[in-house]
Structure 1
Amino acid sequence: MLIDLYSPFVPAGIALLAMVCALPLGKFVPLPDSKGRATSIDGLRGLLALSVFVHHSSIWYVYARSGEWKSPASALYAQLGEAAVALFFMISAFLFYRQIAGGVTDWTRLYVGRVLRMFPLYAICVVVVLLLVLIESDFHLVDPLVQFGVGVIQWFSFTVLGAPDINGVVGTRYIMAGVVWTLPYEWVWYAVLPLLAYFLRQRVQHGLLLLSALGLAYAAVRLSLVLMLPFVGGVAAYYATTRMAIASFLRGRWGSILAISCMILSVICFDSARHPAAVALWSVFFAAIACGNSLFGLLTLRVSAVLGELSYGIYLLHGFVLFLAYKGLGAVAFADLSPASHWALTTALLLPLLIACLVSYRCIELPSMRSRRSVLEKLQVVSEILVARWRDLCRSERVG
């Protein structure tokens, strides 16, 4: 049977192959203690990142032929990316809202943890983007130096300040498959958390409330409020977990059937997962996972957990793999690939991608996450020194 560009068998095949690859790679991935963790969510992450990989691979096929970076002309393939991102947003909303609802409000620990989790690998990705941009422009400075520097700063800001083309390379963001657009949404959510804690009748410092106000103002001016709906779905999922009857139903076999039905209905009824009704369906799907549903055991497999640990790397690095394949084959040869050949190439790229993610996890992500305690201790020492010096300065001014 011929494989067309939007074959429904391709995503399943790539997910299955990824799980097979994760068997030997998993020996090098230490899994966190499952106590207190939403293990089904951990298992979901890896499948979502792989979905984004397949989604962007289909976009590259069209982009190589038309020069247009656009959503796939298939509801299934469009939602492989859109729904995956929506579910990533729901995961963030659920986990951090659950944390503040439980009264855990060590904001320094929370924000330092987020920076240490997200920034090191992202910063290296930006450096690689800059290197590839310079290679594309033959190491000539095309933009004025100030414009080049401002662009670099914008990229290092998690693109909160923008993601411009660098040094005249059109479509710089496509080197990373355009995934960076989601990062400002994540950081706005983190900024809004203190305000949500305040609404939950917790004591919150005024400076943190100001941060929330700035986050909301930024969202109103720069972001799409429709694309923030999944965060509401994640909060709703938290409340579903607190209702024993609802959680028990969603955790069981009928909950699995309901979750899968919502997923199928979204693909059948909507061209995009960004439609509010589609977001509602995916929110029900996620609520089941948040309540502990493993989709008949799929999400609690060890290989699913391994892919979940590698998911951030898969999300950030898959764009480089696709871009380098495009450059390695050459634009003409890449554009001449048949759909079957394109998917064969994508499948061949999977193992190198997972190996790169394993290396990044072991060498960059894991050491950074494990450094949180020492970083917090150093910040505490620095803050105590600054406070002491400020007090000394105030005393000297009074004496003077």
Structure 2
Amino acid sequence: MGAVIFFTSMTMLVGLMCGKWLVRLGFPLPSHNRVESLDGLRGFLAVSVLCHHVYVWSRFSVVGWREPDMALASLLGTGAVGLFFMITGYLFYRTILNLTLFKWAKMMVGRIFRILPLVTVSFVLIVGLVILRVHPSLKLSQLLLAAVHWITAHQEVPILGYAEAGRINAYVLWSLWQEWLFYAVMVPVLGSAAWGLQRVKVPTLALPIILILLGFLLQRHVQSAIYWPLFGGGMLAYEIKSRDAIARKLRTPGAAVLAVALLAFAVVTTRSPYGLSLPAFAFFFACVACGNAFGGVLTLKAARALGECSFGIYLLHGIVLSVAFTDLGIAASLAVAPFAVVIVVAVSAAAFLLVERPMDRVGHAVRSEALPALRRSVAIA
């Protein structure tokens, strides 16, 4: 455990240094209209997932590709993704509370232009690696079918017969599939439920609580239900933030100390954020959502720059690690993580500037101009 703590800490520090360099180079920071502590958190979470997969690679030759037995090493991945799900629940809860068909369509268009372009780029990179590694015979129909599965994040199927293609990106697309289920299915359902609660004068606070309870009750019957309490935890944090008296207390140094202590206890005693450790993760996230910067760490410009690159870090770090450990023959060990994060952040920053930001702007134009025009034309017709 000591080695995991040491090299993870080193990797986080190096990641912050990379973020500082990005800021000095003029890398655009997130808008101040957003919750700065959440932006900073996203960067740390993405780097945490990188450290998790370096650990998995370090054990690969011994036990194969599997979740770590060590609770800390496991939660570097599962815990970080769990907090990402909470961020999603928090960010889209306002949309849920005021949902209309038009608002849902705008949200979906925004998500499509925000997520799919970089996923497509990552798929192309992985196809290139597969071709270089095994020189397969190119079958266009097979490749197109694989592209549909991968780009929608539905399943990381073999690419051109290469069964281990999913390991190239560390099998990270599973969480994007859960995000798509949230956007496409849960948001409309929750929006309808919120409308019903408001009609009968039930406080909206009941909605995230019901979602959390249903997640625990139905997880044996509905595969994705295990993640509902995490989305619900983010929604609950939004409700807490709207209550000023509670939010002020959660912004205090004392709340930060308690949150870190609870999270540390969860990290060394459980292997996932889905069960007994959920309250610790939810309390920590509520503090962040209410603006607790945890000593200013989460609002550092360097951390916010990392946060802006977080999707690229999450999506592309597996490719960098796979090239290092498989193609370049570098020995897989935790000591590689601080060096890998430099390359991953550089690649992710370039991806943000060249792919994510331009396509996000296209999506914004579609949402703000094309969709309203279509709505007006339908209304006239």
After superposition, where does 1:98-247 map in structure 2 within 5 Å?
98-101=94-97, 106-141=103-138, 146-159=141-154, 162-191=155-184, 192-201=186-195, 223-247=223-247
Whole-angstrom distance in 1 between the partners of 2:194 and 2:135:
55
Change (3 A) 1:294 1:115: same
Change (3 A) 1:6 1:140: farther
Matched, 1:302 2:293: no
TM-score by length of 1: 0.82
After superposition, where does 1:211-360 map in structure 2 within 5 Å?
223-270=223-270, 272-330=271-329, 334=331, 342-360=333-351
| Higher RCO (CA < 8 A, seq sep 6+) | 2
Once superposed, what is the RMSD of the aligned Cα atoms?
Answer: 2.6
**TM-fit CA distance, 1:50:** 0.2
**TM-fit CA distance, 1:77:** 1.1
**TM-fit CA distance, 1:102:** 5.6
1:82 to 67, 78, 85: 78
Deviations 1:174-200 (Å, cap 9, x if unpaired)? 111111110111011112112222222
Conserved 8 A contact 1:237-1:286: yes
Change (3 A) 1:81 1:373: closer
Whole-angstrom distance in 1 between the partners of 2:220 and 2:125:
32
* Matched-pair identity in %: 32
Change (3 A) 1:5 1:71: farther
What code does the residue aligned with 2:174 have? W
Whole-angstrom distance in 2 between the partners of 1:242 and 1:346:
39
1:19 to 3, 16, 27: 16
1:283 aligns to what SS in structure 2? helix
What code does the residue aligned with 2:370 have? K
After superposition, where does 1:55-66 map in structure 2 within 5 Å?
55-63=52-60, 65-66=61-62
**TM-fit CA distance, 1:256:** 0.3
1:12 aligns to what SS in structure 2? helix
Whole-angstrom distance in 1 between the partners of 2:141 and 2:358:
34
2:254 aligns to what SS in structure 1? helix
Matched, 1:41 2:38: yes
1:201 aligns to what SS in structure 2? helix
- Tell me which residue corresponds to 2:50: 53
What code does the residue aligned with 2:107 have? L
Give structure 2 stretches of 5+ with no counterpart: 198-214
- Tell me which residue corresponds to 2:370: 378
Conserved 8 A contact 1:185-1:228: no
Whole-angstrom distance in 2 between the partners of 1:348 and 1:283:
32
- Tell me which residue corresponds to 1:32: 30
Conserved 8 A contact 2:230-2:274: no
**TM-fit CA distance, 1:273:** 1.8
Conserved 8 A contact 1:227-1:274: no
Conserved 8 A contact 2:97-2:195: no
2:137 aligns to what SS in structure 1? coil
Equivalenced residues, count: 357
TM-score by length of 2: 0.86
Whole-angstrom distance in 2 between the partners of 1:351 and 1:185:
29
Whole-angstrom distance in 1 between the partners of 2:196 and 2:110:
21
**TM-fit CA distance, 1:169:** 1.5
2:352 aligns to what SS in structure 1? helix
2:276 aligns to what SS in structure 1? helix
Conserved 8 A contact 1:226-1:274: no
Whole-angstrom distance in 2 between the partners of 1:296 and 1:174:
37
Conserved 8 A contact 1:321-1:349: yes
What code does the residue aligned with 1:100 have? I
Change (3 A) 1:373 1:170: closer
Whole-angstrom distance in 2 between the partners of 1:7 and 1:324:
22
Conserved 8 A contact 2:97-2:191: yes
**TM-fit CA distance, 1:148:** 4.3
Change (3 A) 1:170 1:362: same
Whole-angstrom distance in 2 between the partners of 1:123 and 1:296:
38
What code does the residue aligned with 1:198 have? S
**TM-fit CA distance, 1:363:** 0.7
Change (3 A) 1:6 1:229: farther
Change (3 A) 1:66 1:145: farther
